[in-house]
Amino acid sequence: MKINVIGMPLYYGCDRDGAQYGPDKLRENGLVDIITSNGHEVYDMGNIYVPNVSVEDKYKDSEKIKYLNPIVNVNTNLANNVYSSLVGGGFPFTIGGDHSLGAGSIAGASKYFSDLAVIWVDAHGDINTDETSPSRNAHGMPLAASMNVGHPSLTNIYFQGQKVKPENVHIIGVREIDEGEKKLVERLKLNFYTMETVREKGLNNLLQKIIGDIKASNVDGVHLSFDIDVLDASLVPGTGTPVNNGFTMDEGKHLLTTILNEKFVTSMDFVEFNPKIDHEDGRTLNNCLELLDHIFKVMGS
């Protein structure tokens, strides 16, 4: 498979310094070798340019979304890179950076495919808007924006309007959710599986349901967005918003194996690694590298 690695050195969406170093830290520790050793061609497209914006200017464009215009601009560039990768027959693999990049990667994939599905693996729903977000951080908004809910600047990234239909969105692993997000889940009748539901129904049963729903739909592309904070906080201390009671490494690998073995995933994000706050033992880095090796092994099988 032809893998196009796209780096997004962005922290404005989480407003916590360090996430911007994630892509290069993974590269420095053998990302490209990991991909090639599993039998893939790699084209490293480099990093999306992220301008330097002072902390004093974070509310310059909006009182309700920090760093709004820079986030929109870099996501528009990301969307074009993802779209160009797909046009060229590649598999766009975006490494973050914070999860606000999901708005761009989904927009790029959506422009290429006529009907896209999104599997969002995350400890958080990321379906807040400028009206519901307690933190005003854009990394909690990309999935809502992709469904055409939220601030027009975010919903209209790369092209106007909806990128993915709500019925084609599948969210799994959530254990922190805001009140406004709960209301959106109910209003849009989202396929929304909290960690409580995972434990109750069983991970494999839920994965089979998600796969069955996707196969029964008319989608022609599937975007998989993987936030490392879906893992238990003890495994990923180097992430901006770690949450307890998450997936074990084995569960994370099982989820990735089960989904990627279907061979219907056409693009992917791997986000929220913050090397600046990792433990001295490099725990988060090592677990990320282990997951990445697993991802490309399954994709190469």
* pLDDT (average), residues 252-262: 98
pTM: 0.98
Choosing from 15, 98, 130, 139, which is the catalytic residue?
139
Please report the pLDDT score of residue 19 as a whole number.
98
Choosing from 124, 151, 223, 294, which is the catalytic residue?
124
User: Has 229 been annotated as catalytic?
Assistant: yes
Choosing from 40, 98, 99, 269, which is the catalytic residue?
99
Please report the pLDDT score of residue 139 as a whole number.
98
How many structural domains does the chain have? 1
Return the CATH number at 248.
3.40.800.10
DSSP3 helix / strand / coil % (the chain, rounded to 5): 45, 20, 35
Classify the phi-psi angles of 136: left when phi > 0, otherwise alpha if psi is within -120 to 50, otherwise beta.
Answer: left
- Residue 238 preceded by cis peptide, ω within 30: no
Please report the pLDDT score of residue 38 as a whole number.
98
Q: Which tokens sit at 67?
A: 């760093």
Mention every residue, 6+ apart, whose C-beta is less than 8 A from residue 140.
124, 125, 126, 128, 133, 178
Question: Residue 141, Cβ neighbours under 10 Å: how many?
Answer: 30
User: Has 122 been annotated as catalytic?
Assistant: yes
Choosing from 227, 232, 269, 278, which is the catalytic residue?
227
Question: What domain range is 34 assigned to?
Answer: 2-300
User: Has 126 been annotated as catalytic?
Assistant: yes
Q: Write the pLDDT tens digit of every residue in 259-278.
A: 999 999 999 999 999 999 99
